Structure 1
Amino acid sequence: MNERFKVFVVDLEAAQGRVETIDGRNDVAGGSGLAALLFLRYGRPEQPWDHPEQPIILAIGPLTGHFPLMSKTVCAFVSPYHDQYTESHAGGRLALALFFAGYDALVLLGRAKTLSCLSLGSQHLSLRDAGFMEGMNVAGTGKLIRRMFPKSSGHRSIIRIGPAGEIGSAMACINVDSYRHFGRLGGGAVFGVKNLKGLVVCGDAQRPVPPGKEYAGLFKEVHRQVCSTDMMRKYYHLGTAANLRGLNDIQALPWNNLQKTADPGIEGVTGEIFADRTLLRNGACSGCPVGCIHLGFFRDRFKEDARYLYHQVPYDYEPIFAAGTMLGVTDCFDVLRILEDFERVGLDAMSAGVALAWATEATQRGLLSEKQTIVRLSFGDAGAYQQAAHHLGLGSNEFYRLLGGGTRKAAAEYGGDDFACVLGQEMAGYATGPLFFTAQSLGFRHSHLDTGAYSREQQDPAKDVTTAVDFLLADEPYRALLTSMTACLFARSVYQSEQLVKCLDSVGYRELAASIEPVAERIRALRWQVRIATGFCAEEITIPKRFYDVTTWQGPVDGEYFDRLREAYGRRIMEFALPEAAPL
Structure 2
Amino acid sequence: MSNEANDLFRVLVYDLERGRGELAILPGRRQCLGGSGLAALLYEKYGLPTAPAFDPRQPLIFAIGPATGYFPLMSKTVCGFKSPYNENYAESHAGGRSALALRFAGYDALVVVGKAPRLSTLVVGSRRIERIDVHYLAGADVFTTGKLLRKIAEGASGHRSILRIGPAGENGSGYACINVDTYRHFGRLGAGAVMGSKNLKGIVIQGDGDLPLPADKGYAKLFKDIHEKVTSSGMMEKYHNLGTPANVLPLNELKSLPWRNLAATSDSEADKISGEAFAEKLLMHNAACAGCPVGCIHVGMVREMFSSSHRFAIHQVAYDHEPNFAAGPMLGVVDPVEVLAINDMADRQGLDIISAGVALAWAVEATQKGVISEKDTEVKLTFGDAAALKRAMWLIGHKANDFYALLGQGAMVAAAHYGGADYACVLGQEMAGYATGETYFASQTVAFRHSHLDTGAYSYDQKHKEQDVAKVVDFLVKDERERVLLTCLVACLFAREVYKPEVIASVLGCLGHEELAGSFDAAAENARRARWRLKIATGYDPRATRIPKRFTEVTTWKGPVDAVYMEALRAAYAEAVAELGAPPATDQAQPPAL
**Cα gap change, 1:264 to 1:58, in 2 (>3 Å):** same
The equivalences for 1:154-173 within 5 A come to 154-173=158-177
Please tell me the residue identity of whatever aligns with 1:74: V
Aligned to 1:454: 458
Q: Which moved more, 1:307-316 or 1:126-135?
A: 307-316
Aligned to 2:12: 8
Aligned to 2:504: 500
Aligned to 2:364: 360
| CA positional deviation for 1:432 | 0.5
Please tell me the residue identity of whatever aligns with 2:208: D
Q: Which moved more, 1:574-583 or 1:537-546?
A: 574-583
Please tell me the residue identity of whatever aligns with 2:82: V
Query: What whole-Å deviation, never above 9, does each CA across 1:479-512 have from its counterpart, x for those lacking one?
Result: 0010001100001100111111111111111111
Equivalent pair of 1:5/1:21 in contact (CA under 8 Å): yes
Equivalent in 118, 121, 132 of residue 122 of structure 2: 118
Aligned residues: 584
d(CA) in 2 for partners of 1:188 and 1:520? Answer: 27
Please tell me the residue identity of whatever aligns with 2:183: Y
Equivalent in 345, 348, 369 of residue 344 of structure 1: 348
Query: What whole-Å deviation, never above 9, does each CA across 1:227-274 have from its counterpart, x for those lacking one?
Result: 001110000000000000110011000000000000011121000000
Equivalent in 568, 571, 581 of residue 572 of structure 2: 568
Q: Which moved more, 1:122-131 or 1:444-453?
A: 122-131
The answer to whether structure 1 residue 327 and structure 2 residue 320 are counterparts is: no
Equivalent in 124, 134, 138 of residue 134 of structure 1: 138
d(CA) in 1 for partners of 2:287 and 2:60? Answer: 28
The answer to whether structure 1 residue 401 and structure 2 residue 397 are counterparts is: no
**Cα gap change, 1:157 to 1:269, in 2 (>3 Å):** same
Query: What whole-Å deviation, never above 9, does each CA across 1:384-429 have from its counterpart, x for those lacking one?
Result: 1010000011110000000111110100111100000000000001
| CA positional deviation for 1:304 | 5.9
Query: What whole-Å deviation, never above 9, does each CA across 1:151-175 have from its counterpart, x for those lacking one?
Result: 2222210000000000100010000
The answer to whether structure 1 residue 473 and structure 2 residue 477 are counterparts is: yes
Equivalent pair of 1:477/1:523 in contact (CA under 8 Å): no
d(CA) in 1 for partners of 2:317 and 2:15? Answer: 35
SS of equivalent to 1:128: strand
The equivalences for 1:351-430 within 5 A come to 351-430=355-434
The equivalences for 1:201-240 within 5 A come to 201-240=205-244
Equivalent in 515, 524, 529 of residue 528 of structure 2: 524
| CA positional deviation for 1:207 | 1.4
d(CA) in 2 for partners of 1:302 and 1:28? Answer: 53
Equivalent pair of 1:354/1:426 in contact (CA under 8 Å): yes
| CA positional deviation for 1:307 | 4.8
d(CA) in 1 for partners of 2:357 and 2:411? Answer: 11
| CA positional deviation for 1:302 | 4.3
Taking every aligned residue pair, what percent have the same amino acid on both sides? 55
The equivalences for 1:153-192 within 5 A come to 153-192=157-196
Equivalent pair of 2:422/2:548 in contact (CA under 8 Å): yes
SS of equivalent to 2:300: strand
SS of equivalent to 1:380: coil
Q: Which moved more, 1:325-334 or 1:514-523?
A: 514-523
| CA positional deviation for 1:41 | 0.4
d(CA) in 2 for partners of 1:173 and 1:301? Answer: 27
SS of equivalent to 1:353: helix
Equivalent pair of 1:253/1:261 in contact (CA under 8 Å): yes
Equivalent pair of 2:216/2:511 in contact (CA under 8 Å): no
| CA positional deviation for 1:577 | 2.6
Equivalent in 83, 91, 98 of residue 95 of structure 2: 91
Equivalent in 244, 253, 278 of residue 274 of structure 1: 278
SS of equivalent to 1:367: coil
RMSD: 1.1
Q: TM-score, normalised by structure 2?
A: 0.97
Aligned to 1:151: 155
Aligned to 2:197: 193
Listed as ranges, the gaps of 5+ residues in structure 1 are none
The equivalences for 1:21-60 within 5 A come to 21-60=25-64
Please tell me the residue identity of whatever aligns with 2:15: D
Please tell me the residue identity of whatever aligns with 2:421: D
| CA positional deviation for 1:519 | 1.6
Equivalent in 549, 553, 571 of residue 553 of structure 2: 549
| CA positional deviation for 1:146 | 0.9
SS of equivalent to 1:213: coil
Equivalent in 232, 239, 245 of residue 241 of structure 1: 245
Listed as ranges, the gaps of 5+ residues in structure 2 are none
Aligned to 2:515: 511
Aligned to 2:71: 67
SS of equivalent to 1:580: coil
Aligned to 1:488: 492
d(CA) in 1 for partners of 2:76 and 2:305? Answer: 37
